[in-house]
Amino acid sequence: MGKKTSFLYLSEEDIIKAGALDYARCINVEEEIFTLLSEGDYVMGGDKHNSHGIMMKFPKESPFPNMPTDAPDRRFMAMPAYVGGRFNVAGQKWYGSNIINPGRGLPRSILMVMLNDADTCEPIALMSANLISSVRTGCVPAVATRYLANKSSSVCACIGAGPVSRACFDAIIIETKNLKELIVFDIVKEKANDFCKYASEKYNIKATAADSMEDAVKAADIVSVAASPIKPVELKNDWLKPGSILLLSGRGNVDEDYFSSANIVWDNTKMHEVYFDEHMALDEKDRFINGIGVQIYRMMYEGKLPPINEGTSLGDIIRGIKVGRRNEEERFCFIAGGMPVWDVGWGYDIYNKAKEMGIGTELKLWESPYLA
């Protein structure tokens, strides 16, 4: 007689009930995962166990009438990971993205997370993951804020006014007890104004939409970049004040002088080593064009910065292996490339809370496997 297998299905409404929007809890979970990354108690895809994921893009042209063709931000992506420690769970973030979806009343990307028993490989949960992804995306730079930002930081600039940028601010403000002002810049000022209205009503702080990116950045102690990757954000070294932290959750370029003088901290140097190698495998004209941190990769390739394996991961600072902020004048740049460990770990935490609360729908895979 084979073993019965079932798993828990969690809808978006279910995960909200189980605390998916609890930013403070998520920040602590992601901090815990940073320590596992530093210890090496995790696995991601690829031969080096550090691949971000596998992307499927459609061809630019197709003779098949039903096959989609390539377009900006048009892709499917599978992102597997194992997270160790108390989590001890395998899983995968899976999503498709189509930039025209909002015109259909849908999110640009539609995400799911599947969790599996790391030993038996049985599914244990399948859940809606748009909120899992957006919240953890905001909480990762918030962990960096906890450890690297000046405690006196009073002004935050958000570059980009979309849902991810809002999620970043919702998390960052938890870690900035002295924050008094938000400045938002977006190329669509109406969106920046909407963001400011949201923040001022929710947090009772001063919030203004800047007329230029320069105005926003020059005033800020904390600069959060989470804008569309289609048009990279271009910053200037002299805009970023002494003591500031630049949080790159989206692609942003800065003068080379900045990266030669600021302290660069990565979410995980080992994953960025794989990214760097993937860029090096491309034709020279195609290298270091797309992705968060590619400007730094190019400087490393040109010998202007030390290689990534000599760099600093945030988890190493959390564990006390490497030094973080030494004084109030240092500038920091935190690079968040995005990893499925965040989604799998946060999803597992939500799954356990849902079980505890009796939330979700149990779905049967089989009563007894036909082939065993």
Q: Which residue has the higher pLDDT, 25 or 52?
A: 25
Q: Which of 53-67, 287-301, 342-356 has the lowest mean pLDDT?
A: 287-301
pLDDT at 228 over 90: no
Find the radius of gyration of the CA atoms of the chain: 21
Domain boundaries 5-133+341-366, corresponding CATH code: 3.30.1780.10
Domain range summary for the chain, segments of one domain joined by +:
5-133+341-366, 137-339
Q: Which of 26-40, 84-98, 267-281 has the lowest mean pLDDT?
A: 267-281
Using pLDDT thresholds of 50, 70 and 90, give the confidence band for residue 125.
very high
Using pLDDT thresholds of 50, 70 and 90, give the confidence band for residue 230.
low
Query: What pLDDT score does 353 carry?
Result: 98
Residue 80 tokens read as 């597997």
Q: How many residues does the chain have?
A: 372
Query: What pLDDT score does 199 carry?
Result: 97
Strands (E) located in 210-251 = 222-225, 233-234, 245-248
pLDDT at 273 over 70: yes
Q: Render 134-184 in DSSP notation, one character per residue.
A: HHHHHHHHHHHHHHHS-TT--EEEEE--SHHHHHHHHHHGGG-TT--EEEE
Mean pLDDT in residue range 201-209:
96
pTM of the model: 0.94
Residue 263 tokens read as 């302290």
Q: What is the mean pLDDT of the chain?
A: 94
Mean pLDDT in residue range 354-370:
97
pLDDT at 339 over 80: yes
Query: What pLDDT score does 334 carry?
Result: 97
Residues 6+ apart with CB under 8 A from 312: 263, 264, 265, 266, 269, 322
- Tokens 């920091």 appear where? 332
Tell me, yes or no, if the two domains 5-133+341-366 and 137-339 fold the same way: no
Query: What pLDDT score does 229 carry?
Result: 64
Helix (H, G, I), strand (E, B) or coil at 369: coil
pLDDT at 17 over 70: yes
- The class level of CATH for 137-339 reads alpha beta
Q: How far apart are CA 217 and CA 239, in angstroms?
A: 6
Using pLDDT thresholds of 50, 70 and 90, give the confidence band for residue 69.
very high
Query: What pLDDT score does 159 carry?
Result: 96
Residues 6+ apart with CB under 8 A from 252: 159, 225, 227, 232, 233, 234, 235, 246, 292
Residue 306 tokens read as 């030390």
* Percent of the chain residues topping a pLDDT of 90: 85
pLDDT at 316 over 90: yes
